[in-house]
Amino acid sequence: DYGKPDRLIIHYYKKKLNKRESALVERMLSRMSIKCPIYVINIVSAVNEDLLAFDETHPDRMPLSGTYVHLRRDEYLLYNNERYAKGKKADTLYPIKLTITQGGSNTPAAPLAPLVAKQLITQVYQFCRLYWKSVKMQRVPITIAYPEMVAQCVPHFKAEELPEYGRQHLWML
């Protein structure tokens, strides 16, 4: 409907696709005649207290929301909080550890370009601002929160399978 994508971004619970998963994705893209890079973003939803960053220009030392730090080759720490402007205060800090890898067996393991990293991290940050219950920033993006909600509900179904209606609608909301 919207033309050919310039990239495929997968928010995933594992750091990268294994060979079988990678082959499935590549086969589907090939069937659709789509050639584009695949990025896998592992979003660690556990509260992380061992990695910290500080804004030494602010009295409470909390970084602005949306600030990220490049930790290692493919790892980043995104600060997701309620401090949106200089001079403002935030009560809650949500650092999110991200690992971004290029997926696909045909993709060389090259370092991520800084602009691409920024775009992918910005997308994760924006998805943290989408939530059905409130306008407040959430700890994790909806791409992680909503599947987690589904996973908690499905075992309670009689057939232990997602009904057809639920495949097209946000029924868990």
* C-beta separation of 129 from 46 below 8 A: no
CA distances for 11 relative to 50, 100, 141, 146, angstroms: 23, 9, 9, 12
Task: Give Dmax over CA atoms of the chain in angstroms.
Answer: 56
End-to-end alpha carbon distance in the chain:
27
Q: What is the DSSP letter of 93?
A: E
Please write the tens of the pLDDT for every residue from 17-27.
888 988 999 99
pLDDT above 70 (res 88): no
* CA dist., res. 102 & res. 72, Å (int): 15
Beginning with the edge strand found earlier in the chain, give each strand of the sheet holding 75-81 in spatial order: 8-12, 38-44, 93-103, 75-81, 68-72
* C-beta separation of 128 from 138 below 8 A: yes
Q: What pLDDT is recorded for position 121?
A: 94
Q: What pLDDT is recorded for position 84?
A: 66
pLDDT band of residue 86 (cuts 50, 70, 90) is low
